[in-house]
Amino acid sequence: MTSTTLLHLDSSISPSGSVSRALTARFADAWHARHGTAGRDRYRYRDLAADPVPPVRAAYDALGRRTERKGTLPLDDIGRLAEGPDEAHEWTLSRPLIEELRAAGTLLVGSPMYNYTVSAGLKAWIDRVTFPGVHHDPETGEPLLRDTRVVVVAVRGGGYAPGTPRAHCDFQVPYLRAYFDRIGVAPEHLHVVTAELTRAADVPALNALQPLAAESLAAAEAALDELAATL
């Protein structure tokens, strides 16, 4: 049976007026309403912009390489491989985030597009939780996240949908799809909801596209409502 825990990540650098924050909050509110008090007790929130995850350092790399040579290990064994205070510190920063992700039944990710890809805050979290072997069972090799439901809310100020002139510049959604596939999330459990042209109202060159922006936002809201009713 999958956990009812919701791990909610926001990564927009805008504390107010953020479309990605508004959309993830909409999903979280609906999820809370569905799961009631029990669900609220199993809710975890991280603001990766206001409280950023420290970037990985050389000691993280050294411990990761040493661990990878040993194969897939239990988390306690990885901690025992740490050599010196720097490696121990890197593991101390990483392990709680890894355990938090592994415990989540649903992961909700707010991902605005910055310079064609994900934010620095989200990338730092990804680097920190992607330690060699930690998302596979040490005994069977099976992916531990195969039943985890992932909802990615991908927000873009311009238009990057397939068939648009800048579709080839989208290094946000393809990257996240590849990443979650790599760490073992089953394809049927990965849900990507996009809201496009969110800057249409305030960027003169995009003003004429405001009706399309409104359609995209409404479609994203409807998709999130439907997901929150089932996950």
Superfamily covering domain 6-228 = Flavodoxin domain (3.40.50.360)
Tell me what pLDDT residue 39 has. Answer: 61
Question: Which among 33, 82, 85, 87 is positioned nearest to 60, based on CA atoms?
Answer: 87
- pLDDT, tens digit (0-9, with 9 covering 90-100), for 73-132: 999 999 999 999 999 999 999 999 999 999 999 999 999 999 999 999 999 999 999 999
Tell me what pLDDT residue 38 has. Answer: 62
Residues 6 or more apart whose CB falls under 8 angstroms from that of 70 comprise: 77, 81
Q: Over 80: is that where the pLDDT of 208 sits?
A: yes
Tell me what pLDDT residue 190 has. Answer: 98
Any known ligand binding at 119?
A: no
Tell me what pLDDT residue 3 has. Answer: 61
Q: Over 60: is that where the pLDDT of 1 sits?
A: no
Which helix (H) or strand (E) covers residue 93, if one does?
helix 84-103
- Beta-bridged to residue 91, according to DSSP, are none
Tell me what pLDDT residue 43 has. Answer: 94
- Tell me what the mean pLDDT of segment 33-62 comes to: 90
Any known ligand binding at 19?
A: yes
> Based on the number of CB atoms within 10 Å of its own CB, is 76 exposed (0-12), middle (13-18) or buried (19 or more)?
exposed
Q: What is the mean pLDDT of the chain?
A: 95
Tell me what pLDDT residue 35 has. Answer: 86
Residue with token string 């919701």: 6
> Based on the number of CB atoms within 10 Å of its own CB, is 118 exposed (0-12), middle (13-18) or buried (19 or more)?
buried
Any known ligand binding at 11?
A: no
Q: How far apart are CA 48 and CA 38, in angstroms?
A: 25
Question: Sheet containing 190-195: which strands, arranged edge to edge?
Answer: 43-47, 6-10, 106-112, 149-155, 190-195
Which residue ranges make up each domain of the chain?
6-228
Q: Over 80: is that where the pLDDT of 182 sits?
A: yes
Tell me what pLDDT residue 41 has. Answer: 76
Any known ligand binding at 12?
A: yes
- pLDDT, tens digit (0-9, with 9 covering 90-100), for 146-176: 999 999 999 999 999 999 999 999 999 999 9
Q: How far apart are CA 51 and CA 131, in angstroms?
A: 21
- Pair 183, 135: CB distance under 8 Å: yes
